[in-house]
Chain A
Amino acid sequence: MMLSEGLKPFNTGLNQWCLVTSETATPSGEPLGRISRDIEAFTATSPATHILVADPFGPYSQAVAAGYSNELMPDINMPTSSPYYLYLMDYGSVSPCFYWPDVVLLTSSNTDEGTDTQSQNTAKLIERAVRLEAAREISIEFEKAKEESFEDGMDSEFSRRLENLIIKFDHSALAVIRSLVFVADFYGEAVGEALRLLGRIDHPETYSNRLVLLEQCLFHPDARVRDAASLGLAYLDNPSAIPYLRRAIQVEPNEMLLEDMEQVLRQLEETLQCLSS
């Protein structure tokens, strides 16, 4: 069985293949059958574990998805034993409620947009899907970490697993950690452990983003987060953080933490001196 013309499989970087189509998907007529056939054709020949349904026509795509998940529309009598993960999403938003441990097809509905815009939209969709998966896995680790206690210098299950997730999800993992620290206003000792890890791990691909996140965390309202951020920067030992540390020191209200930040600043200034001599 062949895929419809215009369908393109994409590798999300997660070893999970997704399918993108530029075919028109409208609530009227043929496309429903075509998409179902495309899912069959695609999954017959690929190691897909995740498929995405891009959903500019909400109800229609939900109907398509319903063919593979009775949770979505219980009235529709369609197969439900698919081994795939389903993401249903549109260009503007991704709602976690559209997440089922079930089937998935990624279709990008055709509009009058040019190819470039379609590629950009596709890239956005894939990025969102990866981030959604990263959020799910990383949040689970932060939850589990509530049962762990941490000691400086000692490996923890949490840090081992988080390191693997950072390597797996790259920048998406950092975006998730950032939102756990800032947006979700989540604090557990795990946040401190995570920020130390960001300084410690050897992962050049995320180096600059880790540096930026740690610099931002110097200004977090919680002193424990600021403390872990300054330690993370001490690990990175990158003098480009000096201006941020200086600014953080100027506004740091906690004396104990101030002393530690000054110590990190001295280290980075020495490193700068070594590099320039």
Chain B
Amino acid sequence: MPFFLRKIRKAKWLNDKALTWLGTDDLQADAIFDLKTDDNALSVWHVEDDKSNLQVVIAALSTTSDNLSNLDYVLVEQSVFAKAGLKVIHTRGKTVYDEANKWHRDLVELSAKSLINTALLIASQRSEMKRLLPKQVLSLLQEKIMAGEIKTAELKEKLRGKIEQSPQ
């Protein structure tokens, strides 16, 4: 079963004992900010069930950064969203990694209730929340640049500067 990938900030999804007011099956309200919608649509990326395109999708997301950074993401089985009745449409991504843009999707016609439901579904997949450290993102981008799939000149200035000054 394929997945949807959504970029998040893991710290917002932590359910920590120190947050004594937070129920075990609940999530921090701050997490909702990771699900910023536009025109009631939430941007996600399709990841094949064998995760063969995972690195491509992560590289595409990394190209949108101002700075070299970690990249936190969650993978949720598409069936989970399907069961919740969420509607998905194909919309081409707008990153500079052209080959990856075909994997972009939008969850559309989201109401406030369905957005919160989506957040809860994501929170239930905490084991599928992963992180690439800045150094790993750097080497992934370098790999794609070397392969000619991403053009350095199209990246934002600070990110480009970091890549150019780092040894391959």
Contacts and interface: CB of A to CB of B under 8 A. Distances in A.
B14 A152 contact: no
B131 A151 contact: no
A155 interface: yes
Given A153-B69, A154-B66, A223-B16, A234 B135 contact: yes
Contact of B133 (A151, A253, A256, A264): A264
Interface string B55-83: 00000001011111111100000000000
**Most-contacted residue by chain B among A151, A192, A257 (CB, 10 A):** A151
Contacts of B10: 227, 256, 260
A263 interface: yes
B134 interface: yes
B155 to A, nearest CB: 11
Interface in A104-159: 149-155
Contacts of B150: none
Interface size class, chain A? 20 to 34
Contact of A152 (B9, B13, B135, B159): B9
Given A234-B135, A263-B133, A155 B11 contact: no
A149 B158 CA distance: 20
A227 B11 contact: yes
A267 interface: yes
A206 B158 CA distance: 21
Judged by DSSP, the binding face of A is: helix
Contacts of B11: 192, 223-224, 227-228
Nearest to A151: B9
Nearest to B9: A152
A153 B14 contact: no
A223 B12 CA distance: 10
Nearest to B126: A256
B17 interface: yes
B16 A222 contact: yes
Contacts of A234: 70, 133-135
Contacts of B71: 152-153
Contacts of B159: 153
Contacts of B112: none
A153 B30 contact: no
Contact of B129 (A150, A221, A256): A256
B104 to A, nearest CB: 18
Interface of B: 7, 9-14, 16-19, 30, 33, 62, 64-72, 126, 129, 131, 133-136, 158-159
Interface of A: 149-155, 189, 192, 196, 200, 221-224, 227-228, 231, 234-235, 237, 253-254, 256-257, 260, 263-264, 267
